[in-house]
Structure 1
Amino acid sequence: MLLMKRILLGTACSLLFLMNYTEAQTMNNSTEALSPKERQIAAISAHTARGDMDGLKTALAAGLDAGLSLNEIREVLVQMYAYCGFPRSLNALSSLMELSKERAARGINDREGAEAGAPPAGRSIDFGTENQTKLCGAPVKGELFQFAPAIDEFLKAHLFGDIFGRDNLDWKTRELATIAALASMKGTESQLNSHIRIGKHNGLTDEQVDAILDISGSAGRDDPFPKGNPAPANFTGKAWVAMMVDNRDYDMSAYNVTFAPGTRNNWHSHSVGQVLFCTEGAGYYQERGRKARRLEPGSVVEIPANTEHWHGAAPDSEFVHIGITPKAASNKTVWGGPVTDKEYAEAAGGK
């Protein structure tokens, strides 16, 4: 096992440039579902949410070059305070202000764009409640809002009234920005999943959502390896695989696997065994007849030969691991049936 770890480190370093190029090419292909302006709105939102000022400045310039107006970008950044706080929103607006001055000094006259129109007549909590219902497709209720009615009022009156009531960005675009921001932060998976549903209700396609998530991931992935292509069969949910090393000299292979929240592979075994290096997110590994093990960045799993097992993401987190297959030419994978919802729920502690 130690030899395989050393092989992985050496080959990963030597291939890093190639993998970065591959990741850029994959990103270009996967984000074509979005227009150039939409891609930059997603990138701007993601970098703002993460507080990545260098990446944000690059994304802001690319957005202006793609044809976004200053007011369109301002509106996105103002909305961001509702999802990632005033400090990051204000810092991002300051970055846009300084960039616009720099561009003006170089003779670049960026378009101002349309201002928001007058708000609807009446109280913001009334038209905000109506906006929230239309956005979500049904009235929003829940025990949390009974427990803390003030937050329900703030959401309805301010977020969905004062902000989503402004008409210089449509709701589809606002949801695009929201999904990108939430996908870039840790601990917001529940809200992210809700806004993915809302975004689809307001016109985003599955392909566009995948592209937004790709952009958000690339804006701040802790994992330096490419996401790759959609995984073949034998998975429940969405997963992507990128081959990193297929080395005949050492008779081993290494590949990066990304699992969307709740995704897991089928029960399976390897005739020689396998090693997993967990690099991002949270997931689970379980051998047949044994208790599941929770995995986080830094977890290493050494899987014995001919041991039936599965691995995948936690319900509320994307999960990434590097898989190492020793003796790749003779190491046979035998696939079994899917991990049932009951088995998965038990492994995840009933979540």
Structure 2
Amino acid sequence: MKKIALFGTLLSIFCTVNHLEANDTMNALNTKEQKIVAIAAYTARGDMPNLKTALAEGLDAGLTVNEIKEVLTQLYAYCGFPRSLNALGNYMALLKEREAKGLKDAPGKLPGPLPAGRSIDFGAANQTKLCGAPVRGALFDFAPAIDEYLKAHLFGDIFGRDNLDWRTREIATVAALAAMPGVESQLNSHIAIGKHNGVTDAQVAEILETVRSSTVSAFPRGGENTAYAKYFSGKSYLARLTKDGRLNVPVANVTFEPGCRNNWHSHTGGQMLIAVGGVGYYQERGKAARRLIPGDVVEIPPEVDHWHGAAPDSWFSHLAIECNPATNKNTWLEPVSDADYKAATSGK
């Protein structure tokens, strides 16, 4: 048992968490749970185009209409009414489109009646059961209204609805929080609460990896970069952003999985990189590596040997702009060794 802090607009609590033992049958999320992760993440980000795709994939995977509706409704407590309402409007439009195409989605279970009594009372009981111990804290003395809202509304009116179990609700909550910046404390607390309610370490890792890999930057990730895979250590993705050739300035978004980097190489006409997501590194031959975060710009002169890629523990995306494209050619060289990569990214 250990104390965990849970601070946020609607969830700011202290509770003691017991971790359940993982079993062999729960080492990965099932297909429906994977779709809930995507739905929750895109809802939290307000990414309606990708949310529409995720909603359709969720229905195709067997999620019912009411299961998805319940996820989108619950998420207003974590990412706000505007994004929840937008997501529900998106979902309603999608269901009409599918119906017009003759697709019949299973409606699923509606929530039953809430428990008898006052919502603040059964909500407090739900909160204690969810967290593993009664929740107390100085914050509630400072702002007693938030304690009442948490108990009566979040844990009573929402968690008292029985058409979605608590484990599934926590999967959706962890995914939503993982997709939002600045809520690390709440994310860590909900990870612990999720484990108390049956989510395994492997499933938590899958949620976090799914969310973080799907949104490295605001630019499209594109498909796997198979055409250049032999020049990369690890997996990368490529999205060409300029396609019609009117300006003849090739620009692409390149995304690297953690630890991925390209080989040493050079360009006869030079290149420009603009970091747009995650954490990465750039290094010229014979010089110290440079750590890159969104907003950093790298100007690479012609004929300079260099490499670039992701940090060991972070996805990374940059825009690659080809300079002097009419005559610019790449010369691919040897891979960056594991030892050199480790030295470059550890600051040694």
Q: Does TM-score exceed 0.5, indicating one fold?
A: yes
Deviations 1:223-257 (A, max 9, x none): 8779x69xxxxxxxxxx73322023779xxxxxx9
Q: Which runs of 5+ in 2 are unaligned?
A: 1-26, 225-233, 236-256, 268-276, 280-285, 299-310, 318-333
Between the aligned partners of 1:53 and 1:222, the Cα distance in structure 2 is: 15
Between the aligned partners of 2:127 and 2:338, the Cα distance in structure 1 is: 57
1:22 aligns to what?
Answer: none
2:94 is equivalent to residue 77 of structure 1: no
2:36 aligns to what?
Answer: 41
Asked whether the 8 Å contact 1:278–1:320 carries over to 2, the reply is no
2:296 is equivalent to residue 298 of structure 1: yes
2:105 aligns to what?
Answer: 110
- Residues 105/248 of structure 1: CA separation in 2 closer, same or farther (3 Å cut): closer
Quote the offset at 1:150 in angstroms. 0.3
Deviations 1:120-176 (A, max 9, x none): 111111111111111111122222111111001100110001000110000000000
Greater Cα offset, 205-214 or 75-84: 205-214
| Aligned partner of residue 145 in structure 2, secondary structure | helix
One-letter amino acid of the counterpart of residue 298, structure 1: D
Between the aligned partners of 1:328 and 1:187, the Cα distance in structure 2 is: 34
Structure ranking higher in helix proportion: 1
1:130 aligns to what?
Answer: 125
One-letter amino acid of the counterpart of residue 78, structure 1: T
1:53 aligns to what?
Answer: 48
2:182 aligns to what?
Answer: 187
Query: Normalised by the size of structure 1, how large is the TM-score?
Result: 0.62
Quote the offset at 1:39 in angstroms. 0.7
Between the aligned partners of 1:272 and 1:140, the Cα distance in structure 2 is: 54
Q: Which residue of the other structure, out of 234, 247, 258, is the alignment partner of 2:264?
A: 247
Greater Cα offset, 162-171 or 87-96: 87-96
2:243 aligns to what?
Answer: none
Number of aligned pairs? 247
One-letter amino acid of the counterpart of residue 97, structure 2: E
Quote the offset at 1:319 in angstroms. 6.0
Q: Which residue of the other structure, out of 154, 162, 170, is the alignment partner of 1:167?
A: 162
Between the aligned partners of 2:107 and 2:134, the Cα distance in structure 1 is: 36
Q: Which residue of the other structure, out of 58, 61, 64, is the alignment partner of 1:63?
A: 58
Deviation >4 Å, runs of 4+: 223-226, 318-322, 326-335
Q: Which runs of 5+ in 1 are unaligned?
A: 1-31, 230-239, 251-256, 260-270, 280-296, 301-311, 339-351
Quote the offset at 1:33 in angstroms. 1.5
Deviations 1:189-214 (A, max 9, x none): 11111101100111111111111112
Between the aligned partners of 2:199 and 2:58, the Cα distance in structure 1 is: 20
| Aligned partner of residue 276 in structure 1, secondary structure | strand
Match runs of 1:127-166 below 5 Å: 127-166=122-161
RMSD: 3.5
Between the aligned partners of 2:110 and 2:335, the Cα distance in structure 1 is: 63
- Residues 175/299 of structure 1: CA separation in 2 closer, same or farther (3 Å cut): farther
One-letter amino acid of the counterpart of residue 242, structure 1: G
| Aligned partner of residue 129 in structure 1, secondary structure | helix
Between the aligned partners of 1:217 and 1:277, the Cα distance in structure 2 is: 18
One-letter amino acid of the counterpart of residue 53, structure 1: M
Deviations 1:301-342 (A, max 9, x none): xxxxxxxxxxx99xxxx96668xxx9956975888xx9xxxx
Between the aligned partners of 1:134 and 1:217, the Cα distance in structure 2 is: 30
Query: Normalised by the size of structure 2, how large is the TM-score?
Result: 0.62
1:275 aligns to what?
Answer: 290
Asked whether the 8 Å contact 1:50–1:220 carries over to 2, the reply is no
Asked whether the 8 Å contact 2:263–2:335 carries over to 1, the reply is no
Asked whether the 8 Å contact 1:45–1:177 carries over to 2, the reply is yes
Deviations 1:84-132 (A, max 9, x none): 1111111111111111111111110100000101111111111111111
Between the aligned partners of 2:342 and 2:164, the Cα distance in structure 1 is: 51
| Aligned partner of residue 241 in structure 1, secondary structure | coil
Q: Which residue of the other structure, out of 96, 102, 105, is the alignment partner of 1:101?
A: 96
Between the aligned partners of 1:103 and 1:333, the Cα distance in structure 2 is: 49
Percent of aligned pairs sharing the same letter: 56
Between the aligned partners of 2:290 and 2:158, the Cα distance in structure 1 is: 49
| Aligned partner of residue 181 in structure 1, secondary structure | helix
